[in-house]
Amino acid sequence: MKLPPFEYACPSTISEAVTLLASHDGDAKPLAGGQSLVPMMAFRVAAPALLVDLRKLPELRQIKIADDGVTLGAMVRWREILDDARLRTAHPLLVTAVEHVAHYQIRNRGTVGGSIAHADPAAEMPGIAVTCEAKIAVVGKAGARTIDAANFFKGPLVTALDSDEIITEIRLPAWPAKRRFGFREFARRRGDFAMAGVALFYDEDNGTAKNVHVGAIGVAERPLRLAAVEQALNGRTIDEAAMTEAEAAASASVDPADDIHASGAYRKALIGVMVERALRAAAA
């Protein structure tokens, strides 16, 4: 289907981009990789009067690695994350999750900021942001602010962003070298959105798990932390009994709806299995 008519602008500064968005009173949208926005326009789910292309803003393209963590510019593409060898040690959970995003053509264009702003409940990057307690830096007409990932995702395709705001960076806290992690998702075909997926990590202290973080995608209207699973695992040795308990706690703590891909009951069982497999990978 052809796109509905729209105006196009390609500003060379962030403040120009913000001014353009603000001048259209909610009827303008940033354009990043176009891998979600353009199909939505083709299907008439979105029909913005103006697209503000962010591709000429080099400050949004940087990947910074420092003692306090990893900062991804909003226009960093999936391919750039996979190609950056530093990230395999600086944030292996991020890299493992991004390996599951879409197909290679989409990974060549799709961006971190686009995924966070799009807020698909089954997308990997919002799940990583919530699991890792990322901070999302945004700038708009009223100035810059930082939003905790836990407060950013409000529902399917709904976020805390105002219509004149642009995501500039996603900041992931530092990743200790010996941290254990696992990522598992189940999709009908490799590269499809997950029916259910889990990202988790923990640190070890004398053979027991501490600082357990468990996040889930595809089982609710937004990415979630599974507090009951974290509680069940903190202070425990990650053995068969702990994995079985975590699996049950994960299934019990979500209530997914039925949709065309799977029943809620199936997803509820699936998230338990994903937790068990991700934990097994982390412990191995």
Ligand X SMILES: Cc1cc2nc3c(=O)[nH]c(=O)nc-3n(C[C@H](O)[C@H](O)[C@H](O)COP(=O)(O)OP(=O)(O)OC[C@H]3O[C@@H](n4cnc5c(N)ncnc54)[C@H](O)[C@@H]3O)c2cc1C
Number of helical H runs and strand E runs in the chain: 12, 14
Residues that bind ligand X (rule: CB under 6 A) add up to a total of 31
Per-residue contact string for residues 66-105; x = within reach of ligand X by CB under 6 A: --------x--------------------------xx---
Q: Which is nearer to ligand X, 72 or 117 (CB)?
A: 117
Kindly give, in sequence order, each residue whose CB lies less than 8 Å from that of residue 98, ignoring residues fewer than 6 positions away: 78, 81, 82, 107, 124, 125
Kindly give, in sequence order, each residue whose CB lies less than 8 Å from that of residue 194, ignoring residues fewer than 6 positions away: 100, 122, 124, 185, 186, 187, 217, 218
Place of tokens 């990932």: 149
Which DSSP state fits 34? -
Q: Which is nearer to ligand X, 106 or 150 (CB)?
A: 106
Contact between 182 and ligand X by CB under 6 A: the answer reads no
State which of residues 20, 87, 90, 110 lies at the interface with ligand X (CB under 6 A): 110
Name the segment binding ligand X (CB under 6 A); options: 31-39, 83-91, 195-203, 248-256. Answer: 31-39
Q: How far is the CB of 237 from ligand X (least distance, A)?
A: 33
- Report d(CA 246, CA 231) in Å as an integer: 9
State which of residues 11, 18, 36, 201 lies at the interface with ligand X (CB under 6 A): 36
Name the segment binding ligand X (CB under 6 A); options: 83-91, 186-194, 254-262, 274-282. Answer: 186-194
- Report d(CA 247, CA 238) in Å as an integer: 12
Name the segment binding ligand X (CB under 6 A); options: 26-34, 87-95, 243-251, 253-261. Answer: 26-34
State which of residues 11, 30, 121, 218 lies at the interface with ligand X (CB under 6 A): 30
Q: Which is nearer to ligand X, 6 or 266 (CB)?
A: 6
Which DSSP state fits 74? T
**Sheet bearing 143-148, strands edge to edge:** 63-66, 69-73, 166-173, 135-140, 143-148
- The site for ligand X (CB under 6 A) is made up of 29-37, 39, 54, 74, 101-102, 106, 110-111, 113-115, 117-118, 123-125, 161, 166-167, 191-193
